[in-house]
Chain A
Amino acid sequence: MKGQGRGLQAYALLYLLFLYAPIILLPLFAFNSGTIIAFPLQGFTTDWFSQMWANATLRTALTNSLIIAVSAAILATCLGIFAARASTRFEFPGKGGMMGFILLPMVLPEIIVAMSLLVVLLGAGVQLSILTVIVGHVLICMPYAIAILTTAFSSLDKSLEEAAYDLGETRWSAFRLVTLPLVMPGIISSLLISFTISLDEFIIAFFLAGNQPTLPTYIFSQLRFPKQIPMIMALGTVLVALSIVLLALGEYFRRRGNARMGGNPTGGFL
């Protein structure tokens, strides 16, 4: 019996190694002075990072991506709050169907979302820009935001709000003074996750950005040129480090939120 557990543990660790293999290789190549991405490694260098820092197109792409990700995160979370509150607090006919439809982009292939939106935008004569990317990203971030926020809202004790009403607060002031602070960890976690999703999203940005570069579309365009790849590895290292920090923050707020409301600490982002 003990042996079986150990076998499974070994397998789980091997599986983690499989999951982390690309991420472990990334910094190795980013600091490698050889220009070809292959073993054996040559020597240590930080040239790729300075090359990345000096790249003007990359900076434009980063600025665009940040604008898109911040806007998409805020909009998706705001819309998510509405949906999460509606689904956890109220009963009405057709609720399941409406929620299912809002959550649909989670399972719909992104290429379908991107293509159909593109056809409509081109048909309506809309100029493609980072604005159109934001529109698409809000759609695909919303389901994740709702998933996180629903958990936050559903562990909320309804009687706290009722107490506020009894003490003479209006519906809005009760929401602002009682509900909002309690679900704040969920909101921050939703903002962080939406930001991370949008920052890394490629398909929608690729088709809806027109000729404006975002970080992923810039990376995609550079992967064709072997000369540029060490720099992309450096960029990837920075991005991975950044996402880990953001995710750790998101996880921290999620757990704090759970602890505040006495929930159990298990469960991931999805």
Chain B
Amino acid sequence: MAKGGLDAQARQGYTLIAPPFLYALLILAAPLLTILAYSFLTDGYLEVVRDFTWANYAQVWTDPIVRTVMLRSLTVSALVTLVTVLLAFPVAYYVSFMVRPEKKATWLFLITIPFWTSYLIRVFLWKVILGYNGVINSSLTGLGIIDEPLTFILYNVNSIVITLAHAYAPFAILPIFVALEKIDRSLLEAGRDLGESRAMTFWRVTLPLAMPGVLAAVLIVFIPTIGDYVTPELIGGGKIPMIANLIQVQMLALDNRPLGSALAVTAMAIVALVSIVFLLINRRFLKVRS
């Protein structure tokens, strides 16, 4: 009887989950498998020839341009992740530990609002803020602090990092906040009672317990930034492409879908590998969760 009940429950569960799952299967899994298949085919004139080949991957791994762009994408993503998480942690800590409980929702709401406003216009405005005649440079020269516009924030990797750090801020703050909220406050008191200083309590109690949130933040920021297309296009003026721009050029402008697919698959594989290595390195902290 009990087993029959379980089966009925499972059947109902499958019936319910079927529509969204089939949708994801059709619209996400099928296309992903298609580009995986394409990446092993040969590019012919106007169409894809059904000949199995490793040539696309060979080209991806030996082409110096691809290597430069891939390394740049990884560096930019790593920098963005570092900057975003470091800047976000104190804010999450402040909201979780210092803000009164009834005001926390308002703070979180304030933090998430900019995230929901037009991404393109936000990115463009960073160009306006950081540009040659931009807000920062014109006000600094106007005040007589500098004579020449600052060049280190002009249309380069730094400006891409600043823009992306802004765009992904809530993605970093929210998981860290959730982890900090879960910390039993009496543990901190215990640490203090046992004679630890405030800084040591933070270092030995708060930080390890917050680590799952920090790791989630790192992955949530790192993975999408690698595939960002808009920011290099608008801020870098197309002169400092990242991997997404390269994929788009191969797929559409040059109409070489097998090579474009191989690039996309390689990028995904690298992202997955980096994420897994990162998770393995931090396995110790993840145990805290359970």
Contacts and interface: CB of A to CB of B under 8 A. Distances in A.
Interface residues of A, number: 87
A233 B128 CA distance: 12
Q: Is the interface of B mostly helix, strand, loop or mixed?
A: helix
Q: Is the interface of A mostly helix, strand, loop or mixed?
A: helix
Interface in B80-107: 87, 90-91, 93-95, 98, 101-102, 104-105
B16 interface: yes
Given A22-B122, A119-B257, A251-B109, A111 B220 contact: no
A146 to B, nearest CB: 8
B24 A142 contact: yes
- Interface core residue of B10, B27, B29, B38 (most chain A CB under 10 Å): B27
A25 B125 contact: yes
B125 A90 contact: no
Contacts of A102: 17, 20-21, 24
Nearest to B126: A22
Contacts of B248: 111, 115, 207
Interface string A106-126: 011111110111111001000
A116 B90 contact: no
A101 B21 CA distance: 8
B166 A19 contact: yes
Contact of B125 (A26, A109, A112, A202): A26
Given A5-B98, A79-B19, A223-B124, A93 B268 contact: no
Nearest to A197: B116
A120 B10 contact: no
Contacts, number: 257
A9 B170 CA distance: 18
B207 to A, nearest CB: 15
B169 interface: yes
Contact of A91 (B13, B122, B133): B13
B117 to A, nearest CB: 5
B134 A38 contact: yes
A19 B114 contact: yes
B230 interface: yes
A121 B198 CA distance: 58
Contact of B108 (A18, A108, A123, A266): A266
Contacts of B111: 16, 19, 268
B32 interface: yes
A136 B24 CA distance: 10
A155 to B, nearest CB: 16
Interface string B122-139: 101110110001110011
B228 A236 contact: no
A219 B268 CA distance: 29
Contacts of A142: 20, 23-24
- Interface core residue of B117, B124, B166 (most chain A CB under 10 Å): B117
Nearest to A4: B198
Interface string B23-39: 11101111110110010
Interface stretch (A49-57, A80-88, A158-166): A80-88
Contacts of B268: 112
Interface in B30-83: 30-32, 34-35, 38
A66 B268 CA distance: 32
Interface of B: 6, 9-14, 16-21, 23-25, 27-32, 34-35, 38, 87, 90-91, 93-95, 98, 101-102, 104-105, 108-114, 116-122, 124-126, 128-129, 133-135, 138-139, 142, 166, 169-171, 174, 178, 181, 198, 219-220, 223-224, 226-230, 234, 244, 247-248, 251-252, 257, 260-261, 264, 267-268, 271
20 contacts: A21-B125, A22-B121, A38-B138, A82-B17, A91-B9, A91-B13, A109-B271, A111-B228, A111-B264, A112-B227, A116-B34, A200-B118, A207-B252, A232-B124, A240-B117, A243-B113, A243-B117, A265-B102, A265-B105, A268-B112
